[in-house]
Amino acid sequence: MASDSRAALLKASTPPSDELFSSLITANHILHHQKVLDAYGHISVRNPQNPATFFISRSLAPALVSCREDIAEYYVDDANPVNKDAPQGYAERFIHSELYKRYSDVNSVIHSHSEAVIPFSISSVPVRHPPMPVLGAQLTCITSFARSIT
């Protein structure tokens, strides 16, 4: 029991890897290039060291995300920034936090306004995506979220 607590504390106190942020930056660029994300879409990733937080770029078009400083950390519980001095974030971060809250096994969320993606919200055709191993082996399009919480 004590070793479990110690392991949990060690994990929580270890900062996320540079690879996580590099992959999130790359995912922004790939999804923009593939026209999954337009200038107003975003991808986030749950913090693997602390599942009560997630990372998403600050209010910046996906194609312009270029470094760790372009990414902010938010609490899953209420979508407030972990760093009170963080730059203004997307209002849609609340969508991300609600999905992380509702689905504990979801490790990455994409929110898109792209016309190329909208048809997937009303069809049974699965979303196909480029491999992004750090962000998770499987991408699931959760389209009935609004209906499932009402």
Domain ranges of the chain: 2-148
What residues are annotated to the active site?
92
Per-residue pLDDT tens digits for 44-67: 999 999 999 999 998 888 999 999
pLDDT, mean over the chain: 78
Taking the alpha carbons of 93, 96, 100, 101 in that order, is the dihedral positive or negative?
positive
Q: What is the pLDDT of residues 86-134, one digit of tens each?
A: 877 888 899 999 999 999 989 999 888 767 666 766 777 766 655 544 4
Provide the CATH topology of domain 2-148: L-fuculose-1-phosphate Aldolase (3.40.225)
User: Which pLDDT score, from 0 to 100, does residue 33 have?
Assistant: 85
**Which residues neighbour 7 within 8 Å (Cβ) at sequence distance 6 or greater?**
none
Token pair 């990733």 is found at 45
Query: What residues contact 62, with CB distance under 8 A and at least 6 apart?
Result: 28, 29, 31, 32, 37, 39, 41, 42, 43
Q: What is the pLDDT of residue 73?
A: 95
Whether residue 148 has pLDDT greater than 50: no
